[in-house]
Structure 1
């Protein structure tokens, strides 16, 4: 194994994967109503959070942590030989990532505001941050391309106004660690009391989900079916507005630190030291090939 050297990036190792599928039966895991094959796509020194997949090219962005400090935002390019750290400035700490596909913009949230990333040149394009807020999370609503952010130690939610950089407070959800909206504008979020809530469009107040022990830093994502999914410890749960009881849909067997759904219905999952891809198994392809990143080398 070798480390790539780059004048702009710190490169971390990624291991080659060699498999011989042949006629052997795949190791399968059921998540929801589908079976998936797990593939190791990266080994890292630390653990990844805030995983985001760029649907245009399958590149993976994440925030890398090691022990009690953040090592910054990293990029795992599809087909690349290594993981690269993206420098965003000596005084800024990268905390979250979002890909705005219609506007062709990649945003990084930092402790000093938003910056944009130029993927064609692998550099931060904006010379100055947009605003000066401490941005903790970003959510882009795919139905209307509106962007929401949570800021500061109180995790207050703001919405950008009409595609500009002016913001106003999002009144339906005042504060949240993590936040998302489905295509029906139903809100799902982790409030600062460490509990999960939903606020349906036809309700007048939020409803708390039952069955979760109080747990900080749940991971909330929308899957490819526009369903809210929460990851906590090693389990996955589906959330709906029809019941205050979450539905367990999977048990992965390790602590989940990050999760993302790509455009091909794959699930990208991070844990300590590793990033996995879970690929759906279909009857016509019962043992999908390990065709990701270093698999063919």
Structure 2
């Protein structure tokens, strides 16, 4: 009897570690807390070269500026913008090794190595609300002003041209085929397929301002709505639900390792795909707090 008990204890001791898992789409992910913050993050962007995460920190009824969570860091820091400049969005241009910050007074660039604002792009005093950089041709688009009109830069110069395909939008993404997915100023989601001549509205969502719209590493349009993730298609007006996270999502971005970085009130999580051979991947982030 004693021998049987010892064998059972040995089996229990050598049993592989279990960890919290959640299914998103067809994959299982492990959730890891990588930062706690006093507020909630929006406009999340990740630099694939350094894995540093940029976001806008909101606290109660006001914005506390653009912050950076450096990979492996023990703290979250605010970017050093001047007092009269309000940071509103961030985009990483990996081809030209630049980090752009959209502000209420135009575009500025951030030097990651020196941790300082280095230059302004000649954009006058335009109010830049959103930036999208197309990974296919590195074309940069900006959304400006209270009307949320979209412009694109011409041949890498300072000249801009109105993007007529989408006249106005809070945010938008273009996949590698040129299909556009966007939130129009009426608070609804649309797509503009290269095979069609006019935009089409997605069904199934209640009117929700400020959808969180991103492309994943498979060139798929993913949208976060309240606490759920959906995939958007150009062959159907019905989004496909991928998973329910159990809390309100305020920020989302995909890194180059197929991880999903998710922001919510008080926390930033990383969802890491689980390999069948490694059911509990190690945590390689220090947990930061602000």
| TM-score (ref. length: structure 2) | 0.92
Alignment of 1:179 with 2:172, yes or no, is: yes
Relative to structure 1, the CA distance from residue 257 to residue 129 in structure 2 (aligned partners, 3 Å threshold; closer, same or farther) is farther
Whole-angstrom distance in 1 between the partners of 2:120 and 2:250: 31
1:102 matched to which residue of 2? Answer: 95
> Which residue of 2 is the match for residue 26 of structure 1?
19
In 2, Cα distance between equivalents of 1:192 and 1:166 = 25
CA spacing shift, 1:128–1:185, aligned 2, 3 Å: closer
8 Å CA contact retained: 2:72, 2:284 = no
Distance (whole Å) between structure 1 residues aligned to residue 186 and residue 149 of structure 2: 13
128 and 92 in structure 1: CA distance in 2 versus 1, 3 angstrom threshold: farther
Q: Which runs of 5+ in 1 are unaligned?
A: 1-21
The corresponding residue for 1:166 is 159
69, 75, 82: which one pairs with 1:82?
A: 75
Report the alpha carbon displacement of residue 23 of structure 1 after superposing the two structures with TM: 2.8
Q: Does 1:201 align with 2:194?
A: yes
User: How far does the alpha carbon of each residue in 1:86-109 deviate from its partner, in whole angstroms, 9 at most, with x for none?
Assistant: 121111100000000001000000
Cα deviations across residues 132-170 of structure 1 (Å, max 9, x unaligned)? 111111000000000011110010010111001111100
Q: 2:118 aligns with which of 116, 125, 130?
A: 125
1:112–1:129 contact (8 Å) kept in structure 2: no
The answer to whether the aligner puts 1:56 opposite 2:49 as a matched pair is: yes
Tell me the TM-score normalized by structure 1. 0.90
Report the counterpart of residue 113 of structure 1 in structure 2.
106
CA shift digits 1:6-59 (9 cap, x unpaired): xxxxxxxxxxxxxxxx83211110111110000000000000001111000110
1:130 offset after TM fit, Å?
Answer: 3.7
Q: Is the 8 A contact 1:115 1:130 kept in 2?
A: no
Query: Tell me, what secondary structure is at the counterpart of 1:221?
Result: strand
Query: Runs of 5+ in structure 2 lacking a partner?
Result: 1-14
SS at match of 1:176: coil
1:96/1:136 contact within 8 Å kept: yes
The runs of at least 4 aligned residues of structure 1 exceeding 4 Å deviation read: none
Structure 1 residues 61 and 154, CA gap change in structure 2 (3 angstroms): same
Q: Distance in 2 between matches of 1:127 and 1:265?
A: 33
Aligned-residue Cα RMSD (Å) equals: 1.4
Using the alignment, how far apart are the partners of 1:23 and 1:66 within structure 2? 41
Matching residue of 2:253: 260
Residue of structure 1 equivalent to 2:5:
none
How far is 1:84 from its partner? 0.4
Distance 1:34 1:155 in 2: 36
From 114, 138, 146, the equivalent of 2:139 is: 146
What corresponds to 2:9 in structure 1?
none
Give the corresponding residue for 2:281: 288
Distance of 1:285 and 1:23 partners within structure 2: 9
- Per the TM alignment, residue 131 of structure 1 is displaced from its structure 2 partner at its CA by 2.7
Deviation at 1:129, TM superposition (A): 6.3
> How many pairs were matched up?
275
For 1:211-226, what aligned pairs fall within 5 Å after superposition?
211-226=204-219
Q: 1:181-221: per-residue Cα shift (whole Å, max 9, x none)?
A: 00000000000000000000111000000001001000000
Q: Please tell me whether residue 35 in structure 1 is matched to residue 58 in structure 2.
A: no
